[in-house]
A and B are shown apart, each in its own frame.
Chain A
């Protein structure tokens, strides 16, 4: 308990964290898959020139041969309507889906976190009002609310993003609230308050850091859920502008050929599943790391 012990202890804890995470094989597999998606998104976003795409941010149709072709040497994943090479299209789509998910989940988490922390810290009617507001937002199924907001803002990529942020932040507010309620009781916060530290400082110096790890886990899990939601919206026709390289839209292109060319839906669909699966496995691994009980368990 003496001071000299503190450093190596923290080092040991970090080592244990890594040990716990890497002892979970499926979490590691999830991380590796996630990194593939991440690098795909990174390269296409910032160094598209190293890939041989003429239009990295658009699908390239081939109206000369629009009917979906089965996988072949030239098109390893086959093609989908209208003559789009699936491998190319998937590589391009991952970029859009990945950044879009991040652009939704991060602002959603930040708004939710701030609101949630404020609500718990002050409690009373502020808390009450916040809980009612989240209740109300939750009272509409999020997919439906996104459709309604999309109608008002016009159905574009931007409005989809805004709609999903609006739909998502209450989840984080609730979550942050439940996490901070626990930390709020912790003695060191009492101590900080007794020592006369200002509210703002307590909130952001003591409570926030303690709620970050569980929120971080939630973010990694939600990346998958959001990608699923985006693809579902795209599939039912939320994005009227064709030609966008987006996995859900890509699957919907093959819908009319489901009887003759099942790969046209299955293959892009598989890449959605793979991503959602990967972030879930990874998130479960992170959760093991931060949960003291699971951490010590075998």
Chain B
């Protein structure tokens, strides 16, 4: 029935329906998510707020399929572009008498394999802690390039081949077209005609840079030609360009490494371009650095670049700024806002901090104890909060200044033995007898505005 209520003219990329997830531990079953209903639509930023431990990260990871082996998918589903990847996990849970993490891990492995095809491509995620998100043993350029290597090897091959196919007069002509009327149809037609489509993103990356003089840019673009290539590399790169997947022979130990090396090298180039686009200075040197040589803010930018480089449809940002200090936070937020403008992705932005969400989100969902208790347009949530919990949160924000969600009286229920009725009852000033009986459903209270609270049931629905 929720699906009826959450109707919208914008098509959702991700649809979470009545999703339940429990962690099995020695101290009991921790019921982290208890019927989450949510959708993320094309091109929007959905903010998620809630107290620590309410299951925000768990939800994000569940969408990515990155849950630990002791996490049981108890009920509900998560549709990504209409497909429910976690179904095998739920089936395992429903069909087993006693939940065993090792069996769950088997199913999870299969889910992982399926999802690795869309991760980095359709959905990607930025974790909370930039200090531990990057592999300390690999250069950051490699870590960015990897996404392209496994999802768009064709792009990398085409970039490399185009540079060897293009002649001096081609790049000159392209500069002229750009100077006359920018990157329009004619530009693309020319590229297509000469079979040098791989130059497009390279040229535009230079063209769009703001830190260079025009003359310098022209010079750089003109240089994107006539690169020699040996016939061996040319052969396999052409295969890769055509099929846009790593050929089977790339699995042969040493030979495969040679093939991959060429692609990775190109990936470093693309990574450096992309970092440049994000306004990161010295990006050509930075790709050869190791994570420990970078500051927290720089690392987080690398992580964001990695998540974004393949223009995924949805990026989940799990508190991307909370581990950073205030000025860096502002810069990262700025970066995310810019990305929102330039790359047409959707974002799920998780944060403790309502003022951050106010800045970036289109819609906001408020979570409490593993449920979405209110969701609606940013303005509706801030101006007319309906759920008692949301109202208390809003009162707790004194000024525009950053403020964390705290200072609300009472404690979160014990999620090992959650109460039967409304989870917020113990802290709710309006609690009624019915609130102890059953859980309220999400109901519509306004234009695209939903709340789960008995105060509004029977009202307008």
Contact = CB atoms under 8 A, between A and B. Distances in A.
Contact of B101 (A16, A20, A23, A298): A298
A298 B27 CA distance: 9
A185 interface: no
B25 interface: yes
B26 interface: yes
Contacts of A20: 26
B409 to A, nearest CB: 15
A19 B27 CA distance: 10
Nearest to A288: B26
Q: Is the interface of A mostly helix, strand, loop or mixed?
A: helix
A5 B253 CA distance: 60
A16 B27 contact: yes
B310 interface: no
A4 interface: no
Interface in B23-67: 24-27
B27 A297 contact: no
A16 B25 CA distance: 12
Nearest to B70: A298
A291 to B, nearest CB: 12
A10 to B, nearest CB: 15
Interface in B60-107: 70, 101
A206 interface: no
Q: Which of B24, B26, B27 has the most CB of A within 10 A?
A: B26
A155 interface: no
A246 B27 CA distance: 45
Interface string A270-298: 00000000000000000000000001111
A9 to B, nearest CB: 13
Contacts of B27: 16, 296
B98 to A, nearest CB: 11
Contacts of A16: 26-27
Contacts of B101: 298
Contacts of B24: 298
A296 B70 CA distance: 11
A12 B208 CA distance: 63
A171 to B, nearest CB: 28
A23 B24 CA distance: 15
Contacts of A23: 26
A69 B101 CA distance: 51
Contacts of B25: 296-298
Contacts of B70: 297-298
A297 B27 CA distance: 9
A128 B123 CA distance: 50
Interface string B14-26: 0000000000111
A16 B28 CA distance: 11
A298 B70 CA distance: 7
A95 B454 CA distance: 73
Interface in A207-252: none
A297 to B, nearest CB: 7
A182 B25 CA distance: 26
A295 B70 CA distance: 13
A16 to B, nearest CB: 7
A16 B101 CA distance: 20
A151 B229 CA distance: 70
A294 B27 CA distance: 11
A94 to B, nearest CB: 35
A295 B25 CA distance: 9
A188 to B, nearest CB: 23
A195 to B, nearest CB: 28
Contacts of A19: 26
A32 to B, nearest CB: 22
Interface in B302-347: none
A19 B25 CA distance: 13
B104 to A, nearest CB: 10
A20 B24 CA distance: 14
Nearest to B99: A298
A16 B27 CA distance: 8
A20 B25 CA distance: 11
A298 B24 CA distance: 7
A23 B27 CA distance: 12
A216 B331 CA distance: 49
Interface string A15-34: 01001100100000000000
Interface in B2-24: 24
Contacts of B26: 16, 19-20, 23, 295-298
A83 B25 CA distance: 56
A24 B446 CA distance: 55
A19 B101 CA distance: 19
Nearest to A295: B26
Nearest to B101: A298
A67 to B, nearest CB: 52
Nearest to B27: A296
A61 B123 CA distance: 77
Q: Which of A23, A296, A298 has the most CB of B within 10 A?
A: A298
Q: Which of A20, A295, A297 has the most CB of B within 10 A?
A: A297
B74 to A, nearest CB: 15
Nearest to B69: A298
B392 to A, nearest CB: 22
A23 B70 CA distance: 17
B460 to A, nearest CB: 42
B96 to A, nearest CB: 14
Closest 8 CB pairs of A and B: A296-B25, A298-B24, A298-B101, A298-B70, A296-B26, A20-B26, A296-B27, A298-B25
Given A16-B27, A297-B70, A298-B24, 4 more contacts: A16-B26, A296-B26, A297-B25, A298-B101
Interface of B: 24-27, 70, 101
5 contacts: A295-B26, A296-B25, A296-B26, A296-B27, A297-B70
